[in-house]
Amino acid sequence: MKKLLFVAVAALGFAFNANAQDGSATSKGSILVEANTNFGTGHAANTGFTFASRDGFTEWNIGAEGGYFIQDDLAIKVGLGYGDTDIDGVETNGIFSYKAGAKYYINSMIPVQLDLNGFSTDGFSPMFVGLQGGYAWFLADNIAIEPGVRYDLDLNDDAEGGDTFSLNIGFSLFF
C-alpha cells in the first residue's frame, strides 16, 4: 500500500511538473489549491483533513482551500470543509466550515495568511480571525509542502473563549 501511494504521489508530481508555467509559482494570475492537516488544541474552521479517535471521541473532516494571485506573491483565498464528531455516542453531524482571506508569500517562500473563518452546526456559528505563518518548501516549481503555525481569535458570543492555536502541514499546488 505504501509503495502504491508513493508511486501515485510521484506520478502526480511529475505530471504537474511537466505542466509548470513560466515564472514563479506565486506570480500574478497563478491559481493555488491547498489541502491541509491540523494538529492542535481544537479547531476553529476546519478546511483541512482530520481524523482523530481516542477514549470515546471520534472526529473527522474533509476540506480544501483555493486561491488566485491578484499580484505577485499575494493570493485571495477561500476554503470549505465538512465533517462531524462523535463523543461517547452523541453525534454532531454536519459541521460546515468556511474560510476567506488573503495569503502573502514573503520572498516567494514564507507564507503569511490572514482570514475570517468559522463553522456552523445545529444553530451554533462561531466566527474567528485567523493568522497563519510558515515556510513553503518547493518540491518542484509548482508543488510545495508548507508547515506552519496558526492562531484563531474568537469574534462572537458563540466563539467566546474559543481562541485556538494549532500546527498544520499544507500541501499546495500552483497552476
The whole-chain average pLDDT of the chain stands at: 81
pLDDT in tens, 113-171: 999 998 888 777 888 999 999 999 999 999 999 999 999 888 877 666 678 888 889 99
Residues 172 and 32 sit within 8 Å (Cβ to Cβ): yes
Q: What percent of the chain has pLDDT over 90?
A: 46
The pTM assigned to this predicted structure is 0.76
pLDDT confidence tier of residue 39, bands split at 50, 70 and 90: low
Residue whose cell numbers read 518547493: 138
First to last CA, the chain: 29
The grid coordinates of residue 87 equal 463523543
Kindly list the structural domains of the chain, giving each domain's residue range(s) and its CATH number in brackets, ordered by start.
2-174 (2.40.160.20)
Bridge partners (DSSP) of residue 50 are 61
